[in-house]
Amino acid sequence: MKSALIHTGRGLLALYFLLPGVMKFIQWDMHVALMETHGMAMVPVLLAVAGVTQVGASVCLFLNKQVVVCALGLATMVLLINLNLHDFWNVYEGVDTKHETQNFVKNMGIFAGLLLLAAINMGQASSESEE
């Protein structure tokens, strides 16, 4: 049962990052506009890095490879996104503060799940989760 829960949780976290990672490239202009609204610099570079990171880490999580590195990398990215794009404490024209607060809190839950996933997989000889 423990193994099934770990594999299911890892797969759902992978899916959570895979779809937005792909969408960063499909809806490039929309993501650029969002990042520019929040005053970010080097938007094309950061957007490309975020998309590649999300897709690559998702694939690794699906394959149960480099889980600790990917989970901690995605956790770091979630924190950076929260501070830069879901900064509900700042006011931007056309940005709903309540929605950004909800996104911020939701992302902290995702952050917590990634930390737990990394902790469960630390110190293991192989990429397999504890049974």
* For helices 43-63 and 2-26, angle between their N-to-C axes, nearest 10 degrees: 150
Query: How many angstroms separate the CA atoms of 69 and 25, rounded?
Result: 24
- Token pair for 91: 């006011």
Q: Please write down the long-range contacts of 32-40, taking CB distance under 8 Å and 24 or more positions apart.
A: 34/85, 35/84, 35/85, 37/92, 37/93, 37/94, 37/95, 38/84, 38/85, 38/87, 38/90, 38/92, 40/84, 40/85
Model confidence pLDDT, tens digit, residues 17-42: 999 999 999 999 999 998 998 888 99
Could you tell me the residue ranges of all domains in the chain?
2-121
Helix, strand or coil for residue 126?
Answer: coil
pTM over 0.75: yes
pLDDT at 39 (0 to 100)? 87
Per-residue pLDDT of 82-98, as tens digits, reads 998 888 887 777 778 88
